[in-house]
Structure 1
Amino acid sequence: MTRISIYQLFAMTFIFQLGTTIIFGFGGSAGRDAWISELISCCLGVCMILVYLLLMRMNPGLTLVEWFPKQFGRWIGTPLALLYPLMGLYVVGRIVADIRDMVSTAVLPNTPLLVISGVFVLIIAYCVYGGLEIVSRLGELFLPIVLILFGIEVILLCSSGVLQLNNLLPVLEDGWGPVWEVVYPSGITQSFGETLILAMFWPETEYPDKVMKVTILTTLLSGLMITSFNLLAILIFGDMFSSFLYPLYTLLSLISIGDFIENLQMIGVLYFLMMALLKSVVHMLAALKGIQKLTGMKSHRKLVIPACAIALLLGVTMSQNIAEHVYRHHFEILVPYIWVPLLLVLPAILLLVAWLRQWKK
């Protein structure tokens, strides 16, 4: 049985939480107060993740999909648990659509969308077929690259003379309303609530007793990194930050030092591809492992091809353009009807039931 080291857990969680958030930006509707929205979302996200970690403590040795049958019984718990693998497949389909739109817009405008999506799904299939060992090593490999690129970007932007501190003012010009609209429900679920899917792998760490400390630390660090990206974008663009679909990509286009270092948008594309790949692979592997445990299958590998075919079909057909994909499917469907029930409501009910059962004993 493969065991995840503490460093691998840290790397997987950190990149998973960053996901596609830093490419699309966070809280654009809050304008120059988006960084405040992220800090509040991070704090509330920690509280939400503590609920998940308490559930892990109350169900020692069990994965996410095994919590529900244990607490609710087989007939109620199994259908509820099955919702999480289905959610994982849907999220992978969304990320495939993200890749389709980003790559076709920024890098390969003349390449057929099916080719872009198909190549990405093939890479996902290869990684998932290799299992948890491949996924954990992927996170281990990507983390230093992401941190180095982030450091280079900050240094180059500061050296380019494009940062304007006045763009942060006035703070809370429109009050707390726009900030809270970003925080709940999309803010706390987008980067932090999805961490629940990692509960499929928590029992397979080398030191399960350190999972809580590592996960909370990672959540705080990823929240600070997303806040840093928001601050950079606001310091440069001001209120215009909210009008860019890919603010990080646009941000990198402004780097110019001595007419020698400039147009570094490919760093943004590299960020996007690495984080999107790891997040897709984690979601897909968690989904297949969940189905395997619920059905009693010996291996998840038989499910890789059909599951990746479903993800490809979703990614290609789910939306006609990026506006429909982001604004309609994300904010009108995914957040209220999938993330809120599965990442907020059900875990809260499960914690209450688990606590009542322990208290009764």
Structure 2
Amino acid sequence: MEKISNYQLFGLTFLYQIGTTIIFGFGAGAGRDAWIAVLLSSLLGTCITIIYVLLMKMNPGLTLVQWFPAQFGKWLGTPISWLYPLIFLFDAGRVAGDLKELIPSTLLPTTPPLVFIGLFLLVMVFALYLGIENLARAGEILVPIVLILLSIEVLLLFSSDIIHLKYLLPILENGWVPIWENVYSQGISQTYGESIIFAMIWTQVKNPERIMKITIYSSILSGILLALSVTLAIATFGEDLYKRSIYPLFSLLGVVNVADFLNNLDPFGVIYLTSVAFFKMYIKIFAGIKAIQQLTHLHNHRVLIVPAVILVMYLGMSVSDNIAEHIYGMALEVVTPYVWVPLFFIFPSILLVVTWIRKKWLKGGGHSV
């Protein structure tokens, strides 16, 4: 079996964490202090990812869905484990839903969403058959491209003379309450809590002892880039427009205008965002089918690829009727509090305590009873 290198894991983690998060207004409820909410989410989110790595180290050689049966027992642990592939595939459908809403409103207004989502997932099937090692190699190439594009975007925005730093003032005008409301639970769930999915991939890493540092570096870098993007969006549009805009971070490319020559960069933004969304959706589907394979003891996960992609396509086309329902009705009011919080925070925290107690018990000779 091929292994994933340190840099490849960093690339996959980084691209996954920025994912479709960079499309929407991260922490918009905090207004002009959204950049503080992003940085605080990054700090706390990094601590959450450290818990996941600690669980990996305490359960060597096991994936996420094998942790719970190993520590809770078959009858309690297996039902909990089944929740993870289900939410991974559901979330992959929500990424498809992001594209269903984004592409028609930006690049292809007359093309039926079913057409480009179908073609997108057709490529996804091919990539899934090739294996995650090939995706990791592509990530090696895409990471520097993403960083270069973001650097160019920053330069073009300042060159367009549309950045107004006064829009960021006064800082903390409304105190810490609106910031914290955007940090917990959406802020730390959307980018960092979701990183628990890499516990399905860490067993394929060449140097598992480096996973902790790689995960921390990736979380910090993605947090910095998200905070920078949010800061630029607020400094460009102002607080009110940032809070009302559906795609404020994407819209930054639309306002670039250098000497009336370099402008209308929306198509490049769509290509960039679609590429990042592809990585995020791929990892969700791959982790989902690998988890199902392990839970059902199938010999090969490839038999699950086509059914999983068909399910993701169906969910992407039907999970929400409009962008407001997709973002607010589904993500903020249902998925985050009732799905992500238990699966990303509560269950792993309980598992960490139980695993630590069992390790101490066995070390103290309790196994001889």
The whole-number CA distance in structure 2 between the counterparts of 1:210 and 1:220 is: 16
Q: Which amino acid aligns with 2:219?
A: T
Q: Which amino acid aligns with 2:325?
A: E
How many residue pairs get matched? 361
Structure 1 regions of 5+ residues with no counterpart? none
1:261 corresponding residue in structure 2: 262
- 1:64–1:200 contact (8 Å) kept in structure 2: yes
The whole-number CA distance in structure 2 between the counterparts of 1:135 and 1:199 is: 17
Give the CA deviation at 1:294: 1.1
Moved more, 155-164 or 117-126: 117-126
2:137 corresponding residue in structure 1: 137
After TM superposition, list the pairs within 5 Å mapping 1:32-181 onto structure 2: 32-181=32-181
Q: Which amino acid aligns with 2:79?
A: P
Asked whether 1:340 is paired with 2:341, we answer yes
1:325 corresponding residue in structure 2: 326
Secondary structure of the structure 1 residue equivalent to 2:285:
helix
The whole-number CA distance in structure 2 between the counterparts of 1:343 and 1:181 is: 18
Deviations 1:40-67 (A, max 9, x none): 1011001111110110110011111111
Q: Which amino acid aligns with 2:237?
A: F
The whole-number CA distance in structure 1 between the counterparts of 2:327 and 2:318 is: 14
Give the CA deviation at 1:271: 2.3
Deviations 1:240-264 (A, max 9, x none): 2111111122211111111111111
Asked whether 1:290 is paired with 2:287, we answer no
- 1:135–1:282 contact (8 Å) kept in structure 2: no
1:12 corresponding residue in structure 2: 12
Give the CA deviation at 1:138: 2.7
2:366 corresponding residue in structure 1: none
Secondary structure of the structure 2 residue equivalent to 1:4:
coil
Deviations 1:332-351 (A, max 9, x none): 11101110010000000100
Deviations 1:98-135 (A, max 9, x none): 11111111111111121122112212211112122122
- 1:2–1:132 contact (8 Å) kept in structure 2: no
The whole-number CA distance in structure 2 between the counterparts of 1:254 and 1:317 is: 32
2:31 corresponding residue in structure 1: 31
2:248 corresponding residue in structure 1: 247
Q: Which amino acid aligns with 2:301?
A: H
The whole-number CA distance in structure 2 between the counterparts of 1:138 and 1:284 is: 17
Deviations 1:282-323 (A, max 9, x none): 010011111111111111110011111111111111111111
Asked whether 1:360 is paired with 2:361, we answer yes
Structure 2 regions of 5+ residues with no counterpart? 363-369
The whole-number CA distance in structure 2 between the counterparts of 1:190 and 1:140 is: 23
Deviations 1:74-113 (A, max 9, x none): 1211111111110110001001111111111111111112
Q: Which amino acid aligns with 2:73?
A: G
Deviations 1:15-44 (A, max 9, x none): 100011111120111110000000110110
1:299 corresponding residue in structure 2: 300
Secondary structure of the structure 2 residue equivalent to 1:253:
helix
Give the CA deviation at 1:141: 2.4
Secondary structure of the structure 1 residue equivalent to 2:23:
helix
TM-score with structure 1 setting the length: 0.98
